Every structure is written in structure tokens, then in C-alpha cells.
Structure 1
């Protein structure tokens, strides 16, 4: 599984639904990231699991029809269970027994499943999949051609347009997307950036304007926090991010790594109870930053260089390869500059 929590939580129920025996391993922080709730469900169904943490071996197929799962730890639990539901050969009901956080990610799962022939019936706090649902590859070529852009990664360059001196134009976006991170457009407007949208062509243009502080709920958009702390540093005044507690469980402790990133660059970031506060000065000084081997911290620190008085020296810069291999090349295309330092 490498270090991918998404892949792990999706594939754990899917692979065990297909195979009698399998083995999972991972590296980095993945063995420490939450998985207990899914493991408990597998055990209850009759799966034999050699350990509660990675690496482990699993014997017996995963079979279930009704299951209760918390929604406030990881929405990926629900997505994984949804993906394997059509493999159970009976009606499946998934009940959410807490507040469902990051719901837009579950909506994305359901949207993709629909394209492959699966109808998920949503109720207030549950999901139902009939045993008559079967995955189909009908029209798969059209589906592949229509895979939409990733709003989580687009957000870095949209923020670059909002804090830099040059307009940033992004093409080929789905402006009717169910992706939760499309909320970056709403946030940029709220904070004062100039946002131009052409829904028909899927083009977004971002320009800097007078940026003002605000409060931002991170509950459904946790992946945006690092780059939003950079945006907040470009504002004048205090910006507060709240409902952030689950960010401790990402590729890094993303609360700590975001605070450290801003403070290392000469900004003012403080952690409060379930919130993070940035006291924006309109600029950062620059300096040395650790990415904590977290792709979103590495990309955020790079974009932060736009408002830094001095260069940014980034450690473990290759973390971007987890999700955006060509990130630095695209940064350069938009006018950024970077050099690889050999520290040997």
C-alpha cells in the first residue's frame, strides 16, 4: 500500500471480498493511521486477521449485509464498504452511527460507482445497495475519457493566482463536480480574490485583489488546510480554521506540520482547541521548511515562496510524487523558479 491511506482503506474490504487469503503491508505513517473500525467489521464477519496494525495477513473472505460504521474518523471507511457492496451477492445496508465528515468524498465514490452500473440509494444516515447491482464495463472508454481534474491539486495553483502578481488560468475543470475541494472557489471569493468562471468551457481565472481574513470550516475539506494557511498568510488580519482535529491522522500530523511550515517561513500560526489561527501580515519571510514527507505540505511551501521575501528551502521535496509528479514543472510554467540542491 506504500503510504496511501486512501488505497489501503478502499482495498482492504474490496480485496478481502474477492480473495480467501491476502496480505497487506505499508510504510511511513500508514501503519499508525486509523483502521481499527474496518478491521473490527472484518473480524465480526469471520475474517481471521493476524494483527490489528500493518503488516497483517487475512484469511477467509469478507461477507456482510448490514453494518454500522462511524463517519467521523475517515470517510474512506464508508467508500471502501460501498465499493465492495456489489460483491456480496445480497442486499447491503451501511448505517452511519455518527456525524459523517468529509461527505463529499463519499459522494464522489457513489458518483463513480453509478458510472459503472451501481445504484446506491441514500437515506438520511444510511446507504443501500441491492444485490441486483453488478459492476459493468459498458461505456468504459467514455468514462476514461471524461475523468475530471483533481480540485485538491488545482487548489494550489488557484491560490497562487490569488496571492501572486500574475493571473492564473486553469482549463478543463468540471464546474459541476461533486468534489468537495471545489469549495476552494467559494473560499477565494470570500477572502477577496478576483474569480472569473466560465461554466461551459470549464475555465477558471484567478487574480489577486484585496485579501481579507475570515473563518473557514475544514470539516469537509481537510486536504485544503495546508494551502489555505498560505492563503491566510497573504491576508491582513486573523484567519481561523476550525473543525481540524482529524488532520492529525494524515500523511503527517497536518495540524503541526502546517503550523510549523508557516512559522518556519516567518509567519504567525498557532494551534488552539480544534482550530488553527493565522495572523496574516500579507507576506512571509522565507526560510527552511520540512515537508514531513507530506505531499500537501511540500506543494503548499512551494506556493508560499510567491509571497516570501527570501527563498524557501524545502526538505523532502519529492513527497509531491505521491499525488502530483509534475508539480514543480507546472510551477515553473506559471513563472515559479526552483533548483534542486545536492546536500551530500
Structure 2
């Protein structure tokens, strides 16, 4: 599906979807607990991949509207299976770890679509192999991967090329037969690890943290009882950008949480945006603003870069986004994807090894591509709201990965969107 977005003003009240990062983690924690109730999880393609994996691991669940009731599983009693994980990199990384705890002579197979088959996992695989897991795959450990247990406790050093590698180990090693220590080199996207630790604490799993080192007792039981998933600040970033570019919005249910992507509010303020956050009421108000270019360190906020790039494209002056080299390891090389799409609509942009320099100006319009990446479609569709000509987004249906009703939401607040 393609969509066309035409110049229009937006106004109204919106509520972003629940957090994708939290939903992945609480689904898995619930599956490892005896009995648990999850309120308001995100139901989208990526989280459905995790939910399917939970079922294959042996957990049972019942859905009642926005509530999921889980009855958990024991990894020691689980049998090796074929896990098709669609396009979900998070599910893949967590399952690489968890399947290394399955006591079965057969190998579990972890596979996915074409995009997932291009996601490298070498550092995580090396770490688990050093603890005793048997894992087969190509040199960079892209799917399909063949995983057999059992990874025991011990000391492991890992380069944090992706925070998901660290989160996978943090979920895996409490199940191991011995105690473990994780020494992390070059931490990136630490707020996502903080989300993992938050969920583990709620599940009564003990992890001692000393800087970038983690000490984990083995043979712990997960005891998550209930969890309400907060709204997603990553998804809210596109609504904030829409308001800054083209109107006035009130964004509801945005209470404070561990999500690092709440930094979008401070970044918008630094760029001159008219934005306020009432944390007690959970309401963000944002309106059309004259933005200015700034310098942005993206080391901990990779998922905000697409929305920030769109904001920068209309800002006065230059915006420099740096320390974002880990964006090359997402669904696509996001640095290159952003570069190509900005060029396509007439924005002056320079690509660097670790980011981008964007000079703001008028948006001419044109054809942009999601490249199969939901964040590309979410962000670059917004340029149609302010472009001189319409903006067509190719392969726009990919928003279903994290924000299934996105285009309907933009239409409801006044955006002119046509699905083709």
C-alpha cells in the first residue's frame, strides 16, 4: 500500500499506542511467571511475533479486550521448535537467549522475513556460546539461527552494539544454573536496558547494577503478577512532530516512565517548539512553531532520529545528529534511509558515518520510501502536511509494526491522507 499526504493543518486530541518496548518485555516476563495479568499491551505486528513466541515456549494466555491473562511456562520443560519471528528484531534477540535455556537435544530454529535475515547478532551469540550454548549460523549470526542449550552462569564480556543484546542476557541469565556477571563495553541506548531492568524488578528478579556491569543470581523465579503498559513515547514523537509542523494537538495518557524517548519533549523545546507536558495529568500540548537547528547526541535515542530529522528539515539553520552509528543495524540502515528520503523531497542533507547534518528549508514534496521500516513511513508521511506538493509514501503499510491506526489518527485530526 502507498499513501499520499497533502498540505493540511492538524488539530485535536490524540492518544498514542502503548509502548512497544514494554510490551515485548512484559509478554516474555509473564510467560516465565506462574500467573500474570497484563493491561493495555500494544497489539501490533512486532508484539504479535513475541506473543506467538511465548505460546511456542509453552505459556498459555487469554485475551479479554485490553487485558491478557497469562499462565507461564518452564524453559526446562520446553521442547525445541521452529520460531518464525516475522520482522521483530527485539523478539529475535530475546529468543536467542531464552532458547539457550531449553533442555532438549534438538536445536530450536529462529527465523524471520527478509529484513530480519539481515539483522546481525554476532556479539550476543559469542557471549552465549562462551557460557555453554550451542548456536549455529553464518559468520555474522544472522537468521536463521540454530540454538541448543544450555547456557550456564559465568562471566561474560560483550560489546553493546545493540542494547537488545544486553537485555537478552538480562532476561536469560536469571534462568541459568549458576550466577553470572555481564561486563558491557561501549553501552548504547541505555534507556532500553533500563526498561528491561524495570520489568525484571517488577517480576522480582534480582539484578545488581554497577555502572555498565550487571550481577545476576542464577535459578531465579519470575514472579510478575500484573503490569499496565504505558503509552509509547517513540510513537508520540510523530504526533509531536505533526503538531510542531502543522497545527495544535493535545496528546493524552503521556505519564512519566522509564522510556528514554521522552527526551523528544526537551529536544522539541531546544529547537524552539511550543510544547508543554503536564506529568500529573499525562497531557502533552504542542502547537505549530518556528523551529531552529541544534546539535543532538543520539546515542541513547535512536528511535527518535526519524522524527527529529523531519523536524530538522523545516527548522531554521542546521541540525547535526551524531553518535547514531547504531542506526545502521536497525530494520534498515536508517542513516541512509533518512538521507535518501530527505533528498527526495528537496532537503539539503549531508550523511556522516555516525549521523546526519540537515539544513532546514522548504519541503518541495515528492516520493519517499519506507524501505520496509515502520519508522520511515511514520516520520516521512508528516512532510506532506507542509510540502509545496504532495508527498507519496511507498510501502506505507509497514506502520502496522508499531502504530496500526496511524493514518486514521492523522486523518481524524485533519490531515489529508489518501490510501492507494
Higher strand share goes to which structure? 2
| Gap regions ≥5 residues in structure 2 | 1-84
Q: Which residue number corresponds to residue 169 of structure 2? A: 81
Contact 1:65 1:88 (C-alpha < 8 Å) held by counterparts = no
* Cα deviation digits, residues 140-173 of structure 1 (max 9, x gap): 2xx1xx2101111110001111111x21111111
> TM-score normalised to the size of structure 2?
0.76
Verify: 1:157 aligned to 2:243, yes or no: no
- Counterpart of 1:103 (choices 185, 190, 209) is 190
Partner of 1:60: 149
Report the more deviating stretch, 8-17 or 19-28. 19-28
C-alpha contact 1:95 1:127 (8 A) present in aligned 2: yes
Deviation at 1:19, TM superposition (A): 4.4
Deviation at 1:125, TM superposition (A): 2.2
Determine the structure 2 residue equivalent to 1:125.
212
Partner SS state of residue 417, structure 2: coil
1:324 matches 2:409: no
Q: 1:7 aligns to what SS in structure 2?
A: helix
Contact 2:192 2:259 in 1 (8 A): yes
Distance, in Å, in 2 between the alignment partners of 1:187 and 1:130 is 38
| Secondary structure in 2 matching 1:157 | helix
Task: Indicate if the aligned counterparts of 2:237 and 2:264 stay in contact, CA closer than 8 A.
Answer: yes
Q: Distance in 1 between matches of 2:95 and 2:238?
A: 28
Distance 1:114 1:288 in 2: 46
Counterpart position of 2:268: 188
Kept after mapping to 1: 8 A contact 2:99/2:147 = no
- What is the TM-score with the length of structure 1 in the denominator? 0.92
Structure 1 partner of 2:7: none
Shift of 1:57: 2.0
Q: Residue 15 of structure 1 aligns with which residue?
A: 99
**Alignment correspondent of 1:43:** 129
**Equivalent runs, 1:147-296 vs 2, <5 Å:** 147-164=229-246, 166-175=247-256, 177-281=257-361, 283-296=362-375
Paired position in structure 1 for 2:378: 299
**Structure with bigger RCO (C-alpha 8 Å, 6+ apart):** 2
In structure 1, what is the Cα distance between the partners aligned to 2:153 and 2:127? 9
Matched length: 331
List alignment gaps of at least 5 residues for structure 1: none
Measured on the aligned residues, the alpha-carbon RMSD in Å equals: 1.5
